[in-house]
């Protein structure tokens, strides 16, 4: 059932067994696990079914001086489906090394291992519509560089692409039809209210304060509460809820909002292949797009004492007309019509009249190729249900660049806190102080040196890159947009994190977190597949708990949750 808070009485009390705040990938995946069961699920979503400027403004915040992070309201659509209404769909699981304690990576090590997530990844892959859960390149998939011999890197790992699935559009009908799941739109959670007496004061959630921009208020009572409001709104809500906790819920050790990680990414260097190249995607038998990547192996990470990293062949910088490509120059002109989250790399670089004239000349020199590319884009991307994942253009000069995506290591000083100002619902705004460490740049430096050596040893390519300009090149677009990681990290010891291995907030009986906020380290992988796998694991944990039915609760009374 899908309701709007504005259709409810002001001050209405809604009861459920489980209340989930936030209907993005995490919240929707979790709610779907209760479809057709006797568990009553209430899913509260701040946004509506479409983008709305006033609602999106609730996500606005401040950046610390000099902070190279996108404005906080970007990359975080406030609407049913959350960021899946905008995501690129690249899927891959974390690597085993990402879970391990690495003595050269401070604060590394998850309290769970790959085996704990393994049972949930295949179902997560299905929900993301990324095909079979198999991330090894099949024998018949052409190699990126023919004859490449694995050294520090392999090219035998693949990434898979979701449609990209918009969780709201895809799962709306199922959610609407489920008698035991209620979604309330325009319902922004503004406060976590706690209860308990004596020693247990503040150790359980009693209810949530919920408001709408139209002035409606709503109260919620449930046995369990899950925050799935995204990696930046989760710490915001915890920090802003101070009825019994002066520093915020779950923040006894000052860890809420700390170790904020994104990924470091960039398009770097010049790759000159000396062998046949496969640049692009392969369709798996079940119809999903897949691509090989150069992945830094576990043994090499140990030897180099680096973080995790991957690289892929990429077209040259779009904005530099010296690439000589008509399709790329056409993209340069399309930049004003592309959403800001995807146009960042299309807006820098030379922009004067000479550059414009050279782009126009590129198009004029290859009209058929340019028209063919635009037609392909229209058919296979704009109009297709399963979209071609990204631009693939063979550079006229045969010189590619490298697209790198690298782990950021946890840093206590990289953090989000509350700002002075309030949003339209009275919730303190967020202040983002995202930082990087020399170790983050060093991961890419070591990786590029090793990849260059692998290319040379196998005689497959030459990689030229500007080592002195590496940091500037990696940071020219700042933190990698939509990955918000580590702000409520998982830890066995409450002093080092916010949630335990089950994703329950340390010291709280009935408050759980779903999303990349709980990742203790970022790995190199894009986060959503793991977000969904963790949400499914949390759902299994909640399903295993026995609880009295919500209908047995008297109005205004929530059951006493047990501390286990």
Ligand X SMILES: Cc1cc2nc3c(=O)[nH]c(=O)nc-3n(C[C@H](O)[C@H](O)[C@H](O)COP(=O)(O)OP(=O)(O)OC[C@H]3O[C@@H](n4cnc5c(N)ncnc54)[C@H](O)[C@@H]3O)c2cc1C
Binding site for ligand X (CB under 6 A): 21-27, 44-47, 75-76, 78-79, 82-84, 86-90, 188-189, 228-230, 233, 237, 341, 481-483, 515-516, 526-528, 531
CB of 299 to ligand X, least distance (A): 26
Structure tokens at 349: 């670089």
- In whole angstroms, give the CA distance from residue 234 to residue 290: 32
Question: Between residues 341 and 471, which has the closer beta carbon with respect to ligand X?
Answer: 341
- SS3 at position 141: coil
Q: Are 523 and 407 in contact (CB under 8 A)?
A: yes
Question: Between residues 49 and 502, which has the closer beta carbon with respect to ligand X?
Answer: 49
CB of 147 to ligand X, least distance (A): 30
CB of 460 to ligand X, least distance (A): 27
Question: Between residues 81 and 273, which has the closer beta carbon with respect to ligand X?
Answer: 81
Question: Between residues 131 and 515, which has the closer beta carbon with respect to ligand X?
Answer: 515
Question: Between residues 310 and 463, which has the closer beta carbon with respect to ligand X?
Answer: 310
- In whole angstroms, give the CA distance from residue 291 to residue 289: 7
Question: Between residues 370 and 516, which has the closer beta carbon with respect to ligand X?
Answer: 516
Q: Are 205 and 508 in contact (CB under 8 A)?
A: yes
* Radius of gyration of the chain measured on its C-alpha atoms: 24
Residue owning tokens 């907030």? 505
Alpha carbon dihedral 348, 354, 356, 358, in 10-degree steps, equals -110
Question: Between residues 44 and 363, which has the closer beta carbon with respect to ligand X?
Answer: 44
Q: Are 20 and 41 in contact (CB under 8 A)?
A: yes
CB of 51 to ligand X, least distance (A): 10
By Cβ distance, which residue is nearest to ligand X? 24
The answer for residues whose C-beta is within 8 angstroms of residue 404's C-beta and 6 or more apart is 264, 265, 266, 267, 268, 309, 310, 311, 444, 447, 448, 474
Q: Are 17 and 222 in contact (CB under 8 A)?
A: yes
CB of 210 to ligand X, least distance (A): 8
Spacing of C-alpha 391 from chain mean position:
21
Quick one: which of 40, 1, 44 has its CA closest to 226? Answer: 44
CB of 228 to ligand X, least distance (A): 5
CB of 468 to ligand X, least distance (A): 30
Structure tokens at 248: 């915020």
Question: Between residues 461 and 485, which has the closer beta carbon with respect to ligand X?
Answer: 485
Q: Are 223 and 558 in contact (CB under 8 A)?
A: yes
CB of 132 to ligand X, least distance (A): 17
């Amino acid at each position: 059932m899908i309701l709007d808070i504005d259709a409810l009485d002001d001050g209405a009390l809604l009861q459920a067994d489980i209340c989930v705040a936030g209907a993005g990938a995490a919240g929707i995946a979790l709610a779907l696990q209760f479809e057709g069961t006797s568990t009553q699920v209430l899913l509260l979503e701040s946004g509506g079914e479409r983008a709305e400027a006033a609602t999106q403004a609730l996500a606005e915040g401040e950046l610390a001086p000099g902070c190279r992070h996108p404005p906080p309201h970007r990359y975080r659509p406030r609407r049913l489906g959350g960021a899946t209404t905008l995501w690129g769909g690249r899927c891959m699981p974390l690597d085993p090394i990402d879970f391990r304690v690495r003595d050269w990576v401070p604060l590394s090590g998850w309290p769970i291992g790959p085996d704990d997530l393994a049972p949930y990844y295949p179902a997560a892959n299905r929900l993301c519509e990324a095909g079979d859960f198999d991330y090894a390149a099949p024998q018949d998939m052409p190699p990126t560089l023919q004859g490449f011999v694995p050294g520090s890197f392999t090219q035998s790992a693949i990434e898979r692409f979701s449609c990209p699935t918009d969780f709201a559009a895809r799962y709306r009908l199922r959610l609407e039809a489920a008698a035991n799941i209620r979604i309330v739109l325009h319902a922004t959670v503004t406060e976590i209210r706690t209860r308990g007496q004596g020693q247990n004061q503040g150790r359980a959630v009693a209810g949530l304060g919920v408001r709408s921009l139209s002035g409606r208020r709503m109260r919620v009572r449930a046995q369990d509460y899950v925050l799935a409001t995204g990696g930046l709104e989760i710490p915001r809500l915890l920090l802003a809820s101070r009825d019994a906790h002066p520093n915020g819920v779950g923040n006894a050790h000052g860890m809420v909002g700390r170790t904020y990680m994104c990924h470091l990414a960039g398009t770097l260097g010049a790759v000159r292949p000396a062998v046949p190249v496969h640049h692009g995607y392969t369709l798996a038998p079940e119809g999903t797009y897949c691509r090989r990547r150069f992945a830094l192996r576990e043994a090499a990470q140990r030897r180099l004492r680096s973080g995790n990293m991957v690289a892929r062949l990429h077209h040259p910088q779009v904005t530099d007309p010296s690439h000589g490509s008509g399709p790329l120059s056409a993209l340069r002109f399309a930049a004003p019509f592309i959403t800001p989250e995807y146009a960042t790399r299309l807006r820098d670089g030379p922009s004067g009249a000479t550059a414009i004239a050279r782009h126009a000349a590129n198009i004029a020199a290859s009209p058929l190729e340019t028209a063919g590319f635009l037609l392909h884009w229209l058919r296979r991307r704009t109009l297709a249900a399963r979209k071609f994942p990204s631009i693939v253009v063979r550079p006229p000069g045969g010189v590619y660049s490298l697209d790198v995506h690298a782990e950021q290591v946890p840093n206590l000083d990289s953090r989000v806190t509350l700002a002075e100002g309030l949003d339209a619902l009275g919730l303190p705004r967020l202040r983002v102080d995202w930082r990087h460490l020399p170790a983050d740049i060093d991961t890419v430096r070591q990786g590029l040196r090793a990849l260059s050596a692998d290319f040379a040893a196998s005689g497959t390519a030459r990689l030229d890159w500007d080592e002195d300009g590496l940091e500037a090149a990696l940071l020219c677009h700042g933190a990698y947009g939509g990955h918000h990681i580590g702000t409520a990290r998982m830890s066995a010891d409450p002093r080092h994190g916010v949630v335990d291995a089950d994703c329950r907030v340390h010291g709280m009986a009935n408050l759980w977190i779903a999303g990349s906020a709980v990742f203790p380290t970022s790995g190199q992988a894009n986060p959503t597949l793991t977000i969904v796998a963790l949400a499914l694991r949390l759902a299994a944990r909640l399903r295993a708990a026995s609880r009295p039915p919500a209908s047995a609760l008297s109005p205004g009374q929530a059951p006493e949750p047990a501390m286990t």
